[in-house]
Structure 1
């Protein structure tokens, strides 16, 4: 009964977003790895059984899933990987990517958990597309022990940086100033590296905007 109430609470009252990394394949089977926030649906046992994705139509993830409706969503405790994915500085040759178990796709072996999924429904009636997926297989590589405040601050910065094309970059940098205090106080050297990557990314975008307006 407790698990059922938890599921109802998550789905009806406060559907939550999981931030992670998603791998998809294009028509030539090239791997694309991108950051993704999606909404999970839990079963009565508290396990993730469905995923709701809302990719942008111009993204590689969306186009790849139209061509090949399978992928893998990963939960990771490496915020540097999330930051590198946001700023597109990830070198896939430096990552251990292994074949998925039940679909045609790839798992990121350094992740904590991997959820292989298959798209079952697409709603393209609005600008932000909605894709419904069923989880086909779950792999746990290692336990996930959670984040400290510095990591949470980097995740928030990563979400803000991903919206730099839609929001005022100067405003985002002002929010970064408050997040920096937390990162410098509680983060590791890798956490700080991730935060600096995101800061430089937003600052570069702002500089380009100013240059185009001059």
Structure 2
């Protein structure tokens, strides 16, 4: 199973990095697969800990992909790490072992501590649409334009029907990135 989370890491100097990431869950292990090169990977190799943040504010997902990474954080409880202030829950993890790979190493982690801060009341269709669009934006260079356009056209339906202010804002950030990408291709 893959859960879409926001992974927060920090380096030895305490500089926090926040990145959206699909975390693989297998039995009681969390598998983080950051791309090479990446700040998330560097920080994990340096500190061996991370926080998996579960939140419904999709602006964080879209923001991280559009240059908006300055989200409020607070101290983790059991590791030297940071938790997103908007997280409904979080899991603090430590790296147990690493399976190296040329593109995406697998970092097998174990939960050290899990906390629920607020109830999860579900996603609306617009939140789902922003999450899916964020994944598409993270892969712009890998997707044919026709597929991108078709997916975004479908996702727009959820935005139009169920979005609130946060979802409209996040969607707008992502669509600006898509429009700028298309402009570089002269489309």
TM-score normalised according to structure 2 size: 0.92
Q: Which residue of 1 aligns with 2:162?
A: 186
- 1:183 deviates by 0.8
d(CA) in 2 for partners of 1:100 and 1:41? 23
d(CA) in 2 for partners of 1:171 and 1:206? 13
Runs of 4+ in 1 over 3 A off after TM superposition: 168-171
- Higher relative contact order structure (alpha carbons within 8 Å, sequence separation ≥ 6): 2
Contact kept? 1:109, 1:141, Cα under 8 Å? no
Of 50, 59, 80, which residue of structure 1 is paired with 2:29?
50
d(CA) in 1 for partners of 2:96 and 2:145? 36
Q: Deviations over 1:125-156 (max 9, x none)?
A: 34221110000001111011110112111111
- 1:204 deviates by 1.2
- Unaligned stretches of 5+ residues in structure 2: none
d(CA) in 2 for partners of 1:125 and 1:86? 24
- Unaligned stretches of 5+ residues in structure 1: 1-15, 43-48
d(CA) in 2 for partners of 1:29 and 1:72? 14
Q: Deviations over 1:170-196 (max 9, x none)?
A: 632332112112211111121121111
Q: Which residue of 1 aligns with 2:23?
A: 38
d(CA) in 1 for partners of 2:146 and 2:177? 12
TM-score normalised according to structure 1 size: 0.81
d(CA) in 1 for partners of 2:168 and 2:82? 29
Q: Which of structures 1 and 2 has the bigger CA Rg?
A: 1
